[in-house]
Structure formats: structure tokens, C-alpha cells
Amino acid sequence: MPLTPTQRVLDATPLAACAFNVVLIEQLEAVVDGAERAGLPVIAQISENAVAYRGALAPLAAAARAAADAARVPVALHLDHATRVELIEEAVACGFTSVMYDGARLPWERNVALTREVARWCHERGVFVEAELGEIGGKNGAHAPGVRTDPAEAARFVADTGVDALAVAVGTSHQMTERTAAVDLDLVRALHTAVPVPLVLHGSSGADDATLAGAVRAGMKKINMSTHLNTVFTGAVRAALGTGPAVVDPRRYLGPAREAMAAEVARLLRRLGAAAS
């Protein structure tokens, strides 16, 4: 089926929609395969960093559209952590169903002004907009330990910008390879009460299953994950290459990595999208 609007994926998922970052086509295939196994919608994400690595947005975006067209479940395509407005404009031209404008490093007034303009421009084109208040840990900011989003400020930011979803700081951090983060569930509940749009948890790789399930029950609606799946993918590559120097065909190590990631995507979708217990 064609790419599905991100809002529709959020609405169609019983609990939280899962959004998984991809850099390689094999990872994109794993996300779609895992979603089909779980029978749940999914959001595939391409970050500004991934674009920089690949040197261009359009080729991976085209692969994502093709994968969505062939998928048996709804697939949305999201641009993650975009700091450049021109990249957002390119993503919209490529058919992305949502974008995240990341003005978190900017002063409040500048972040509000630019986010508001991005939201206005994207809404005119039917594109869902996520934004961030404060910075995310691992990127010089607010999902670092001790940094928290204030519910009143979050509500004001959403009202002033008109965004459709808000990434908030509640205790997770980007690029964690151990799942040891503690999420402030009371703060999640307070934010859920104060903020009239879906809440997004970045840095979800650092939280274990029980913590993520608790965050979903407390009000998180979109769970972003990258590093944990990269760990699963890379672990399978290492295992395949470890069988001996004769393994030189990329299909022999990327294939198992794709399978391992697809299985984990399916597991996470079932855990967080269908039943958070």
C-alpha cells in the first residue's frame, strides 16, 4: 500500500506507535518485515545524520516508498532530527508523511519562531510535524540525566508553534547501548495531561521493555528507537563473520542481520503497540 500518513499510524496503533531508524536498505526491509509479522503499522525513520552518511536523501526515500507500496501493513515515513529547513522541504517533495524539526539548540524564541514556520509550511502540504523542546541527551541536551521537560512550558510551546507531536525529556538519552535508563513516569503523566498532542520518547534504546511499557501506559504515544536495533543488527553481522574468513559475500552476513532485526522489530511492536503490560 502507499505510504500512510503518520497521524493515521498513530491513530491505528492500539497503544504506542513504534518508529525505527534506518540507514541501510536491509534495515528498512527488516522494519517492514517485522511490522508485517506483528500485523501492526510502523513508522520508518531516516535521520539527518543518515542522510549525511549516505550523501543524499532521495535514494533511501525511494526505497522506503517502494517498501511501503509492497507492505501488507501501513508504513509511514518520517524525517528525524532535521535541523535544516531545506532538508525538510526535500523530504516533503520525496513524499515523507512527517518530519521532525529539531530547533532544540536554539534559544526559546528562535526555536518557537522557526518551528511555527516549519509547521505552517508543512501543514499547507498535509505533512505531520514533530518538534522538540529542550535538547536530547547524546546531542548536547535534554534527554541527558537530570534534564526534564516542564509540562507548562511544553503546553505553551505546542500552543505557540502548532506542532502535531512533541518530543520530551523524561530521563532517556540517545545512543545508549545498555538498557538502563530510568523514565520519570510521573512526569510523563503530567506531560500527557498538559500537552494536547502525542508525546514522543526519544532515546528509547536506553530503556528496557518494562520501562518502555510503563511509559506507554503513562501516556507516550510514539516510541523512537535506533541504537538498540543497530546493536541487534551488528551483533548478527559479527556472529556471521565470526564463522570464518571465507564469509565474504555480504548476503551471508547482512541476511542474518536483517532477520535478527526483523524479529526484534516484531517483538517490540507486539510489546509496545498492542499490549503494554
- CATH at 126: 3.20.20.70
Q: Report pLDDT digits (tens) over 78-128.
A: 999 999 999 999 999 999 999 999 998 889 999 999 999 999 999 999 999
Cα radius of gyration (the chain): 18
pLDDT of residue 207: 84
pLDDT of residue 144: 53
Q: Which residues in the chain land under pLDDT 70?
A: 134-146, 172-182, 275-277
Dist. CA 103–CA 81, nearest whole Å = 9
Q: Cα-flanking dihedrals φ and ψ of residue 108, to 5°?
A: -50, -55
pLDDT of residue 171: 75
Q: Per the domain annotation, does 1 fall within a domain?
A: no
Task: Give the range of the structural domain holding residue 37, as residue numbers without chain letter.
Answer: 6-274
Task: State which amino acid sits at residue 276.
Answer: A
pLDDT of residue 137: 43
pLDDT of residue 256: 98
Name which of 137, 45, 51, 38 is nearest 99 in CA terms. 45
Kindly give the interhelix angle for 25-38 and 58-70, rounded to the nearest 10 degrees: 20
For residues 179 and 221, the answer to whether their CB atoms sit within 8 Å is no
SS3 47: strand
pLDDT of residue 206: 72
Q: Per the domain annotation, does 48 fall within a domain?
A: yes
Active-site annotation, residues: 80
Task: State which amino acid sits at residue 158.
Answer: V
Total domains present in the chain: 1
For residues 227 and 175, the answer to whether their CB atoms sit within 8 Å is yes
List C-alpha distances in Å: 172 to 107, 112, 143, 270: 22, 23, 5, 21
DSSP per-residue string spanning 215-253: HHHHTEEEEEE-HHHHHHHHHHHHHHHTT-TT---HHHH
Q: Per the domain annotation, does 77 fall within a domain?
A: yes
Q: Per the domain annotation, does 112 fall within a domain?
A: yes
